[in-house]
Amino acid sequence: MIVKEEFLNRLRKIFDLNLYETKVWVSLLSRRQSTAGELSSISDVPRSRTYDILESLEKKGFVIMKVGKPIKFVALKPEEVIERVKKNLVLEAKEKSKRLESLKKEDILDELNSLFEEGVKYVEPTDLSGSIKGSQNLYNHLDMMIRSAEETITFVTTAEGLVKKVEVLIPSLEKAKKRGVKIRVAAPITEHNKKIAKDLQSVVEVRDCGNFRARFMIIDSKEVMFMVLDDEKVHPSYDVGIWLNTEFFAKSLEDLFELAWNNFKKV
Output the pLDDT for position 120: 52
| Total number of residues shown for the chain | 267
Could you tell me the residue range of the domain that residue 32 belongs to?
5-77
> Does residue 32 share a domain with residue 140?
no
**Which CATH number do you get for residue 58?**
1.10.10.10
- For residues 43 and 1, give the distance between their C-alpha atoms in angstroms, rounded to a whole number: 7
> Does residue 132 share a domain with residue 39?
no
* Assigned domain for 100 exists: no
* Assigned domain for 119 exists: no
Output the pLDDT for position 116: 74
> Does residue 175 share a domain with residue 239?
yes
The candidate with the shortest Cα–Cα distance to 54, out of 82, 84, 34, is: 34
Output the pLDDT for position 16: 87
Output the pLDDT for position 181: 96
> Does residue 221 share a domain with residue 152?
yes
Other Cβ atoms less than 10 A from the Cβ of 230: the count is: 13
* Domain end call among 20, 48, 77: 77
Other Cβ atoms less than 10 A from the Cβ of 177: the count is: 15
- For residues 251 and 246, give the distance between their C-alpha atoms in angstroms, rounded to a whole number: 9
The torsion angles phi and psi of 154, rounded to 5 degrees, stand at -115, 125
| C-beta separation of 72 from 66 below 8 A | yes
Strand partners, 241: 132, 227
Output the pLDDT for position 68: 73
Cα–Cα distances (Å) from 143 to 18, 153, 217, in that order, read 35, 11, 11
Cα–Cα distances (Å) from 117 to 122, 123, 244, in that order, read 10, 10, 17
Output the pLDDT for position 35: 87
Rg (CA), the chain: 27
pLDDT in tens, the chain (267 residues): 556 788 888 888 888 888 988 889 888 888 888 888 888 888 888 888 988 999 888 888 888 887 778 888 888 888 888 888 888 888 888 888 888 888 877 788 888 887 777 765 555 555 567 889 998 899 999 999 999 999 999 999 999 889 887 778 999 999 999 999 999 999 999 998 999 898 888 899 999 999 888 999 999 999 999 999 988 888 888 999 999 988 888 999 999 999 999 889 888
- For residues 124 and 143, give the distance between their C-alpha atoms in angstroms, rounded to a whole number: 24
* Assigned domain for 209 exists: yes
What's the structural domain count of the chain?
2
Establish whether the linkage from the previous residue to 70 is cis, with ω within 30° of 0: yes
**Which CATH number do you get for residue 159?**
3.30.870.10
* Assigned domain for 250 exists: yes
* Assigned domain for 45 exists: yes
> Does residue 70 share a domain with residue 133?
no
| C-beta separation of 127 from 150 below 8 A | no
> Does residue 129 share a domain with residue 73?
no
> Does residue 50 share a domain with residue 132?
no
| C-beta separation of 244 from 128 below 8 A | yes
> Does residue 152 share a domain with residue 249?
yes
> Does residue 140 share a domain with residue 36?
no
> Does residue 151 share a domain with residue 58?
no
* Assigned domain for 90 exists: no
> Does residue 142 share a domain with residue 222?
yes
> Does residue 21 share a domain with residue 148?
no
| C-beta separation of 73 from 65 below 8 A | yes
* Assigned domain for 96 exists: no
- For residues 161 and 214, give the distance between their C-alpha atoms in angstroms, rounded to a whole number: 10
Output the pLDDT for position 223: 93
- For residues 255 and 62, give the distance between their C-alpha atoms in angstroms, rounded to a whole number: 61
- For residues 222 and 207, give the distance between their C-alpha atoms in angstroms, rounded to a whole number: 22
| C-beta separation of 61 from 91 below 8 A | no
* Assigned domain for 113 exists: no
